[in-house]
């Protein structure tokens, strides 16, 4: 048992807790002290414990320095007390955790809020002091034990619900310094082999038992259910940091700091980092961190807060053990904004050391001051715009990235992200394919001129080559991207998509499975895995993955279309019809209805849906029109629309994969089209 917690106390046992309060709240404070000391937590209370003859202020300073945890009895009186403010400020400077016991609903002044951004919060203002007291005792016992390095007592369910984590306010950046082009050229083949060893032998082999039992991949779970990931040692999730600025206008900076640190941690061998989409899934939800750990399969959660004022930045980071809720490590950093990259390096290094992970010379490359602070701020604002995943969000993100590059043309992360945004604008149908892919190619090549070792631009170039039917070039670029960053879920998903397009379905499934393991709450990752399972003929698992996609993101477009096709392949026409009717994407909905109505013998309704599809999707999804005609056996129309889709750089490479073409595979025009595509017959 840690000294000062539980057991028989002796007069020589030093106090573990400093009590900070306003004199008007002495009665409540006495009750707090009595509850803590009766549980074995020794407290220091002013003026009770000031030795006669001591200077009052000196006694308080020494008490704060020598105790382990601060308990703040927070009220309107305390919020207005300069004595309380100075005590909390001193505790913050000494890196002591502060457990705030709020007894009324008075607003908190900014001066006090500034120093409470690492606090544990317990609110007795609505439940009453007596009912909240057991929660306070549990919280303090665990905080004291954590600071002394002891084994924490098992937290009660009351305590679990009592600690309210800080509010948690969705694509990742690549700021790490990379090898030179010469090194990449010499190591490309070996790196790719090693990358696939990581994906196949490390992640997948470690999770094979869990996958078979439904513990990692929801494809093995019953339809409509979600399975929790397995929690493995040294797995960290980085939650969005909280904006503690006075005007609450720095959310973009808070999110950006968390994302940058996540990216740094993902480069450390021996540390598994949960993908950004999954970690940011909990933004603003105030979930218990133990529940977050269970849902993400993370042994630890890194959370924090930021306050940016002028050219100064204050960042607090804390590492929480999700099995117990105990804070394993915490630190507060005050830095000039110019040193924000060095600050991120410090946090990543400190976390690795705390988890006893040895850092190699090439794991984290120390970075100097920002070349242009305004460029970096614009870059972070661009990331924030990208989170919206819609047309205006992409446009805003691209504008910010362009501005960042105007200010600092060597900001590699902004160059890489701009290329990715241009690709996404095409993928989501917001810009025409031919012009959009050409723009994405130029931006990707520019990013590689800035830093040849970036992974994401290679994935963008692979997408360009894929849609231009340059198969060997696409394959080469995807392999480079995976070799350079085998743990980036976005790259893994894009690589899976490419493997699927080239009919390498087993490889596609392995890559998609790896993406789900890294980013278990990514709706897109589950959707990609569903497509891979569908192509493998594992239709039940495909349906489960599509339904998991909808659990995570109920408004996810195109997934009802995919789910309807999987149900139809199993002969479930009524279920397929319901899914097609629920599809949000108008083109996919009409294509699905045209196909299912035809299968049900409802020709008039099928014709009407096809007419809508032809009228609305002729310039954006000609391949979908071809697909419907192929299923209906309209050979002439199917091949006419297929040629149109080819000219539009549409997804014609799936022509070998999709069953709708089965009726026409014996047609000479089908074999001729495969030759035109340079795809093997």
Provide the CATH number for the domain around residue 239.
Answer: 3.40.50.10610
**Do residue 139 and residue 42 come from a single domain?**
yes
* Chain centre to alpha carbon of residue 450: 26
Exposed, middle or buried by CB within 10 Å (0-12, 13-18, 19+), for 200?
middle
Neighbours of 578 (CB within 10 A): 15
Residue 179's pLDDT is 32
Determine the Cα–Cα distance for residues 64 and 150; give it in Å rounded to an integer. 21
**Do residue 152 and residue 237 come from a single domain?**
no
In a domain, 306, yes or no: yes
Q: Give the count of alpha carbons within 13 A of 310, CB side only.
A: 4
What are residue 333's DSSP bridge partners?
315
Residue 90's pLDDT is 81
DSSP β-ladder status, 312-321 and 327-336: antiparallel
Q: Give the count of alpha carbons within 13 A of 157, CB side only.
A: 0
Q: Which residue has the higher pLDDT, 149 or 288?
A: 288
In a domain, 621, yes or no: no
Q: At 310, list the tokens.
A: 């002028």
Given a cut of 90, whether residue 620 has pLDDT beyond it is no
At 401-451, the pLDDT tens digits run: 999 999 999 999 999 999 999 999 988 878 888 889 999 999 999 999 999
At 297-323, the pLDDT tens digits run: 999 999 999 998 888 999 999 999 999
pLDDT band at 616 (very low <50, low <70, confident <90, very high): very high
| Highest mean pLDDT pick, 356-365, 643-652, 664-673 | 664-673
Is there a contact between 664 and 630 (Cβ–Cβ < 8 Å)?
yes
Residues 6+ apart with CB under 8 A from 590: 609, 610, 612, 613, 616, 617
Determine the Cα–Cα distance for residues 609 and 604; give it in Å rounded to an integer. 9
Given a cut of 50, whether residue 213 has pLDDT beyond it is no
Is there a contact between 417 and 383 (Cβ–Cβ < 8 Å)?
yes
Could you give the maximum distance between any two Cα atoms of the chain, in Å?
104
Is there a contact between 670 and 680 (Cβ–Cβ < 8 Å)?
no
Q: Which segments within 13-68 are labelled E, that is strand?
A: 17-20, 43-45
Give the single-character DSSP code of 658: -
Give the single-character DSSP code of 279: H
- Split into its structural domains, the chain has a count of 2
CA torsion sign for 656, 662, 663, 668 is positive
What are residue 312's DSSP bridge partners?
309, 336
Determine the Cα–Cα distance for residues 669 and 551; give it in Å rounded to an integer. 41
In a domain, 252, yes or no: yes
Given a cut of 50, whether residue 347 has pLDDT beyond it is yes
Q: Give the count of alpha carbons within 13 A of 180, CB side only.
A: 2
pTM for this entry:
0.65
Domain end call among 370, 391, 420? 370
Is there a contact between 272 and 296 (Cβ–Cβ < 8 Å)?
no
In a domain, 190, yes or no: no
In a domain, 147, yes or no: yes
Domain end call among 162, 182, 202? 162
Residues 6+ apart with CB under 8 A from 65: 90, 94
* Chain centre to alpha carbon of residue 343: 21
Determine the Cα–Cα distance for residues 368 and 345; give it in Å rounded to an integer. 10
HEC string of 519-567 equals: CCCCHHHHHHHHHHHHHHCCHHHHHHHHHHHHHHCCCCCCHHHHHHHHH
Determine the Cα–Cα distance for residues 363 and 297; give it in Å rounded to an integer. 24
Neighbours of 35 (CB within 10 A): 18
**Do residue 24 and residue 155 come from a single domain?**
yes
pLDDT band at 142 (very low <50, low <70, confident <90, very high): confident
| CA terminus-to-terminus distance, the chain | 71
Average pLDDT, stretch 392-406? 95
Is there a contact between 416 and 457 (Cβ–Cβ < 8 Å)?
yes
Average pLDDT, stretch 87-112? 77
Give the containing element (helix H, strand E) for 568. helix 559-569
pLDDT band at 207 (very low <50, low <70, confident <90, very high): very low
In a domain, 191, yes or no: no
How far are the Cα atoms of 71, 227, 267 from residue 144, in angstroms, in the given order? 11, 35, 33
Residues of the chain above pLDDT 90, percent: 49
Is there a contact between 616 and 642 (Cβ–Cβ < 8 Å)?
no
Determine the Cα–Cα distance for residues 356 and 368; give it in Å rounded to an integer. 25
**Mean of all residue pLDDT scores within the chain:** 82
Angle value at C-alpha 281, between 135 and 523, nearest 5 degrees: 140
Give the containing element (helix H, strand E) for 300. strand 298-309
Q: At 29, list the tokens.
A: 């404070």
Residues of the chain above pLDDT 70, percent: 81
Determine the Cα–Cα distance for residues 491 and 474; give it in Å rounded to an integer. 13
Categorise residue 53: left if φ over 0, alpha if ψ from -120 to 50, beta otherwise.
left
* DSSP per-residue codes, 572-618: -HHHHHHHHHH-SSHHHHHHHHHHHHHHTT-HHHHHHHHHHHHHHHT
In a domain, 127, yes or no: yes
Neighbours of 538 (CB within 10 A): 18
User: Which residue bears the tokens 């009717």?
Assistant: 581
Q: What is the CATH number of the domain that holds 83?
A: 3.40.50.10140
Determine the Cα–Cα distance for residues 351 and 336; give it in Å rounded to an integer. 21
Helix, strand, or coil here: 427? helix
**Do residue 263 and residue 137 come from a single domain?**
no
Neighbours of 170 (CB within 10 A): 17
Average pLDDT, stretch 357-374? 78
Q: Which domain holds residue 244?
A: 231-370
Residue 649's pLDDT is 86
**Do residue 21 and residue 158 come from a single domain?**
yes
pLDDT band at 148 (very low <50, low <70, confident <90, very high): low
At 6-26, the pLDDT tens digits run: 333 334 567 889 999 988 788
Give the single-character DSSP code of 203: I
Given a cut of 50, whether residue 186 has pLDDT beyond it is no
Average pLDDT, stretch 628-656? 94
The closest alpha carbon to 60, from 116, 100, 18, 99, belongs to 18
Residue 149's pLDDT is 61
User: Which residue bears the tokens 């893994």?
Assistant: 492
At 552-587, the pLDDT tens digits run: 989 888 999 999 999 999 999 999 999 999 999 999
Determine the Cα–Cα distance for residues 558 and 591; give it in Å rounded to an integer. 11
**Do residue 332 and residue 252 come from a single domain?**
yes
**Do residue 153 and residue 262 come from a single domain?**
no
Determine the Cα–Cα distance for residues 443 and 382; give it in Å rounded to an integer. 15
**Do residue 358 and residue 236 come from a single domain?**
yes
Composition of the chain by helix, strand, coil, percent to 5: 60, 10, 30
Domain end call among 144, 162, 180? 162
**Do residue 153 and residue 237 come from a single domain?**
no
Q: Outline where 198-339 has alpha helix (H).
A: 205-206, 208-213, 251-265, 276-279, 289-296
In a domain, 283, yes or no: yes
**Do residue 31 and residue 146 come from a single domain?**
yes
Q: At 346, list the tokens.
A: 């410090």
Exposed, middle or buried by CB within 10 Å (0-12, 13-18, 19+), for 134?
middle
Give the single-character DSSP code of 94: T
Average pLDDT, stretch 99-111? 76
Q: Which residue has the higher pLDDT, 185 or 351?
A: 351
């Amino acid at each position: 048992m840690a000294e000062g917690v539980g057991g028989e106390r002796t007069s020589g046992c030093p106090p573990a807790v400093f009590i900070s309060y306003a004199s008007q709240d002495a009665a409540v404070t006495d009750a707090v002290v009595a509850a803590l000391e009766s549980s074995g937590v020794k407290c220091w209370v002013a003026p009770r414990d000031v030795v006669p003859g001591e200077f009052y202020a000196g006694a308080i300073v020494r008490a704060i320095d020598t105790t382990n945890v601060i308990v703040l009895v927070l009220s309107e009186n305390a919020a207005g007390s300069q004595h309380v403010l100075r005590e909390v400020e001193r505790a913050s400077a000494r890196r002591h955790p502060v457990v705030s016991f709020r007894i009324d609903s008075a607003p908190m002044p900014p001066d006090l809020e500034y120093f409470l951004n690492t606090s544990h919060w317990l609110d007795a203002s609505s439940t009453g002091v007596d009912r909240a007291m057991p929660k306070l005792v549990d919280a303090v016992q665990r905080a004291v034990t954590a600071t002394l390095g002891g084994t924490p007592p098992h937290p009660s369910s009351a305590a679990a619900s009592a600690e309210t984590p800080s509010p948690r306010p969705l694509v990742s950046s690549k700021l790490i310094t990379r090898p030179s082009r010469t090194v990449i050229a010499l190591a490309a083949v070996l790196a790719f082999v090693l990358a696939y060893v990581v994906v196949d032998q490390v992640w997948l082999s470690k999770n094979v038992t869990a996958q078979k039992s439904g513990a990692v991949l929801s494809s093995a779970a019953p339809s409509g259910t979600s399975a929790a990931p397995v929690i493995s040692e040294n797995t960290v999730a980085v939650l969005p940091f909280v904006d503690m600025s006075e005007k609450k206008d720095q959310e973009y900076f808070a999110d950006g700091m968390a994302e940058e640190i996540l990216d740094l941690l993902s480069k450390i061998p021996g540390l598994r980092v949960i993908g950004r989409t999954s970690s940011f899934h909990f933004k603003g939800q105030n979930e218990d961190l133990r529940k977050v750990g269970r849902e993400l399969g993370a042994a630890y959660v890194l959370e924090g807060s930021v306050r940016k004022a002028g050219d100064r930045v204050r960042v607090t980071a804390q590492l929480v053990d999700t099995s117990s809720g105990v804070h394993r490590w915490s630190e507060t950093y005050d830095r000039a904004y110019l040193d924000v990259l060095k600050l991120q390096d410090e946090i990543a290094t400190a976390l690795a050391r705390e988890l006893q992970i040895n850092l190699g010379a090439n794991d984290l490359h120390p970075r100097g001051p920002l070349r242009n602070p305004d460029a970096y701020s614009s870059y972070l604002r661009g990331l924030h715009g990208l989170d919206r995943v819609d047309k205006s969000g992409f446009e805003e993100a691209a504008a910010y990235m362009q501005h960042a590059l105007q200010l600092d043309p060597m900001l590699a992360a902004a160059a890489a992200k701009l290329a990715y945004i241009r690709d996404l604008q095409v993928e989501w149908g917001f810009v025409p394919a031919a012009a959009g892919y050409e723009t994405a190619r130029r931006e990707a090549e520019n990013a590689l001129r800035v830093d040849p070792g970036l992974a994401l631009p290679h994935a963008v170039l692979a997408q360009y080559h894929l849609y231009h039917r340059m198969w060997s070039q696409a394959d080469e670029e995807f392999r480079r991207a995976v070799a350079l960053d085998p743990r980036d879920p976005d790259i893994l998903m894009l690589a899976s998509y490419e493997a699927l397009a080239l009919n390498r379905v087993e490889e596609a499934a392995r890559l998609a499975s790896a993406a789900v393991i890294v980013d278990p709450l990514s709706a897109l990752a589950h959707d990609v895995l569903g497509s891979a399972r569908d192509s493998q003929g594992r239709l039940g698992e495909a349906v489960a993955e599509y339904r998991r996609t909808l659990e995570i993101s109920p408004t996810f477009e195109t997934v009802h279309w995919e789910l309807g096709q999987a149900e139809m392949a199993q002969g479930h026409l009524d279920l397929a019809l319901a899914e097609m009717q629920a599809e949000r994407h108008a083109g996919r909905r009409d294509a699905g209805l045209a196909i299912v109505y035809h299968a049900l013998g409802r020709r008039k309704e099928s014709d009407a849906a096809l007419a809508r599809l032809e009228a609305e999707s002729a310039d954006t999804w000609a391949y979908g029109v071809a697909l419907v005609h192929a299923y209906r056996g309209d050979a002439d129309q199917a091949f006419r629309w297929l040629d149109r889709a080819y000219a539009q750089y549409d997804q014609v490479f799936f022509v070998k994969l999709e069953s709708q073409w089965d009726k026409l595979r014996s047609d000479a025009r089908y074999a001729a089209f495969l030759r035109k595509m340079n795809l093997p017959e």
